[in-house]
Amino acid sequence: MEAIDNDELLSIRAAELYYDENKTQDEVGAILKLTRWKVGRLLASAKEKGFIRIEIVHPRARRLTLERSLKERFALADAIVVPTAGTHDADDLRARAAQGAADYLASLRPVPRTLGISWGRTLHDVAEHLAEGWATGVNVVQINGGVSVNQRAGTAAATAFEIARKASGQATLLPSPAILERRETKLSIEADRTVAGVLTMAANASAYLYSAGVAGADSALVESGYLTGADVDELVRRGAVGDVVGRYIDAAGMIVDPSLDERTVGMSLDALRAATTSIAVIAGEGKHAVARAVVTSGLCTVLVTDEGTALDLLNPDFPA
């Protein structure tokens, strides 16, 4: 049997008394006939050696160690990592990440006077989780087309209005579909004075908040009627891992289909990369690939994600 030194046994006993018996460090010291300083050293040693594992299970807790690692590895301004414990499905996980994004947005200083947003299920969840009065006088502007062609109509507008309403601000919508059938139509729409004004406002926003979509049949762009499942299958064949503000990207964060991109209305990826504050909310196993593309290609300065995605991003087998 492996020998255990006296300090190791004392550290285990001190940990049991402190954590299991809820004794104070002074009380532990009195029981073990040690100084309070020695008890503190023993508890620190027990934690360093892995004898103690502390898990905070509140759904609004954060994984600070993973956050630090993400910031260091990908040169992010900030990272928010929410726990996966207690979630039952992808919807639960998305909602938890949305709450993390809502909390982060409310804490952002200085408060963004104009917030550029995308749309989709995740952004809709963020709008729902934002507290009333999370800020004052924030104007919200859509950064990509959101006029839907089917039953999801109104979702993009509702998201923008809700975020603005809770901040006593105004919402400015981009009155255009996300993707048009012809490049000429897209150019004509963007030349319209009203649309051009919205795009200019979006380009000058103080901060941006967006999510990323999967490259699959359950994409919001497919559900909204812009693309078919076959269209997305072809994009995947060409290397697509997902979409950012309606633009499909590959693992390197590059546009997969230039002709499709030319028919897509809204903020460009280059403009998003140049932003001072761009917050990406990406969670779930199905989005690991697009999350990696986003952080490695500089598409966000802040990442809000779950611990499973964070661990995948920090996998040493994948280069930063």
What is the model's pLDDT at position 124?
94
Exposure of 320 in the CB half-sphere (CA atoms within 13 A): 12
**β partners of residue 242:** 214, 249
CATH architecture of 6-48: Orthogonal Bundle (1.10)
Judge whether residue 1 has pLDDT over 50.
no
CB 60 within 8 A of CB 99: yes
Judge whether residue 266 has pLDDT over 50.
yes
Q: Are strands 247-249 and 242-244 parallel, antiparallel or unpaired?
A: antiparallel
The mean predicted confidence, pLDDT, of the chain is: 89
CA distance to 52, 89, 305, 310, per residue, from 215 (Å): 41, 19, 18, 20
Domain ranges of the chain: 6-48, 64-313
Select 64-313's CATH number: 2.70.98.60, 1.10.1200.10, 3.40.30.10, 3.40.50.1360: 3.40.50.1360
Query: Which alpha helices (H) appear in 142-218, and where do they start and end?
Result: 155-165, 183-191, 193-203
Between 55 and 107, residue with greater pLDDT: 107
Q: Determine the angle formed by the axes of helices 193-203 and 183-191, rounding to 10 degrees.
A: 80
Least confident among 85-89, 135-139, 149-153, 241-245: 149-153
What is the model's pLDDT at position 227?
83
Q: Are strands 171-172 and 78-82 parallel, antiparallel or unpaired?
A: unpaired
Judge whether residue 21 has pLDDT over 60.
yes
What CA–CA distance (Å, rounded) separates 295 from 242? Answer: 13
- Fold match between domain 6-48 and domain 64-313: no
Judge whether residue 77 has pLDDT over 80.
yes
pLDDT single digits (tens) 99-125: 999 999 999 999 999 999 998 899 999
What is the model's pLDDT at position 90?
85
Count the Cβ atoms, other than its own, within 10 Å of residue 161. 16
Task: Tell me which DSSP letter residue 19 carries.
Answer: I
CB 281 within 8 A of CB 210: yes
What is the model's pLDDT at position 27?
93
